[in-house]
A and B are shown apart, each in its own frame.
Chain A
Amino acid sequence: MNDLELSDLVKRVLFDVAPDLEGEPVDPKIPFREQFEFDSMDFLNFIIGLHQASGAQIPEADYPQLASLDDCVSYLKARHL
């Protein structure tokens, strides 16, 4: 997948987890927690969604590397997705 496809995948997961955000613009640099008032549950659901959509195993220790859209794209890319 190229960057654009990965970015689309992350956004799809984001909107699945938070349907009330559907259609909102996503700033790729700002962490989800700050941008969308994500709480722990939203974030966990997002990680689960990301895991299911990409097949990536994401250990808890890696969570800080998945804070923003850009972070997620780089993380998934590094795992050759």
Chain B
Amino acid sequence: MPSLGADMDEGTLVEWLKQPGDRIHKGDILAVVETQKGAIEIEVFSDGVFRDCLASPGDRVPVGEVIAILDSGKASAAPTGKAALAVPVADAKALQEPLARGRKVTPAARRLAQESGMDISRVVPDGTGVVGLQQVRAHAAITGPPAVPTGRIDLKEMRKAIAAAMARSKREIPHYYVSSDIDVTALMDWLAEENAARSVADRLLYAVPLFCILARTLLETSELNGQYEAGEFSPSQSVHAGIAIAMRGGGLIAPAIRDVAGKGLDELRVSLTDLVGRVRSGRLRSSELSGATVTFSNLGERTADTLMPIIYPPQVAIIGCGQIAPRPWVKDGEVHIRQIMSITVAGDHRVSDGRSAARFLSRLEKRLAKPEVS
């Protein structure tokens, strides 16, 4: 069961989209898993054969537990019979063991967990290393009742997920905020011209070039792009941007688009349209829910001027964009009416300083002034 975000403890298997014996290819959707963020499609990362499934639809499976055995195809052509299967099954057990090893669980705790459908291996033991009734009850109080697979995103569950992630962020991440009002008239003019030449279906939202430029600028500011885990920052070579998408009825989700800086405008437009569509229908993919190296939060038209966003762990920065509005603006010693956007960088002070963010904003301003070359 892959971790689909810092706040995910477990997932409920909804369905298998491949059957044991099927050939699988990188990027194929293997299964659908229900999480706090809705039904997520689990992708395969390498070619091979789907050998065996170890979970059934309806099972609640903790993160890290084996749900399927895939054969990379390198070992043997077509293993059949028990002897061939014995190896991967043993491997699967070995993978599960670290969760269980060294844990003391009282019979009463084990029974209560079982009755309430809780995975005991996720429960944090007490100071003496024992998981007792008290720990199970405390865990139940945190995680709430088991989610029912709906195919849609459960907003109550989502609020819990947001609460957990944001509370963790504010607890662990020393945020700093640096912000600039940036003249985006050039971008908007360029976009109007560009869209006039495009058919309805191909037209660009300003978010598309904006995200593209944000990502390309981030490539030059590596301390704002990466993940901070176990006390260590790992900068990323590409920008996998989480895009904050508001849900109707409350809540938001920030699934990632991979390598935004490496995508052309149309490629990004298609990705964004597809992503929003799948958020609306509650069908995201596993790779979209983890692996983001930064988040873009764009308030959009007719909203508000400034946004002070909170970093989504384990990322180290989030960029908040306010609405674009006409403002009096001094240029070459004269006041003009210009289209202005307030952009705020929230950074993780364990990794970077306000200076990094300021440098980023100044580079961004230059790029936004010349959208055609970006």
Query: Do A and B interact?
Result: yes
CB contact between B277 and one of A39, A45, A59 (< 8 Å): that residue: A45
| CB within 8 Å for A60 and B196 given contacts A36-B248, A41-B205 | yes
Give bound CA distance, A33 to B195, whole Å.
Answer: 22
A40 touching B200 by the CB < 8 A rule? no
Do A33 and B200 touch across chains, with their CB atoms under 8 A apart? no
Alpha-carbon separation in the docked complex, A20 to B38 (Å): 13
Report the Cα distance A64→B272, complex, angstroms. Answer: 23
How many chain A residues touch the partner (CB < 8 A)? 22
Residue in A21, A39, A59 whose beta carbon sits within 8 Å of that of B246 in the complex: A39
Q: Which residues of A contact B200 (CB under 8 A)?
A: 47-48, 51, 57-58
Q: Is the CB of B300 within 8 A of A40?
A: yes
B204 to chain A, nearest CB (A): 9
Instruction: Report the number of A-B residue pairs with Cβ-Cβ less than 8 Å.
Output: 54
Known A39-B300, A51-B200, A60-B192; judge A44-B205 contact (CB<8 A).
Answer: yes
* Interface bin, chain B: 20 to 34
Q: Confirm or deny: B44 has a beta carbon within 8 angstroms of a beta carbon on chain A.
A: no
Q: Of A18, A40, A52, which is in contact with the most chain B CB atoms at under 10 Å from its CB?
A: A40
In the complex, how many angstroms separate the beta carbon of A79 from the nearest chain B beta carbon? 13
**CA gap between A32 and B97 in the complex, in Å:** 53
Instruction: Please give, as numbers and ranges, the residues of chain B lying within 8 Å of A48 by CB-CB distance.
Output: 200-201, 203
**Would you give the shortest CB distance from A18 to chain B, in whole angstroms?**
6
Which residues of the partner chain B approach A58 to less than 8 Å between Cβ atoms?
A: 200
- Whether A42 is near chain B, meaning CB under 8 Å from some CB there, is yes
A39 to B205 alpha-carbon distance, docked (Å): 11
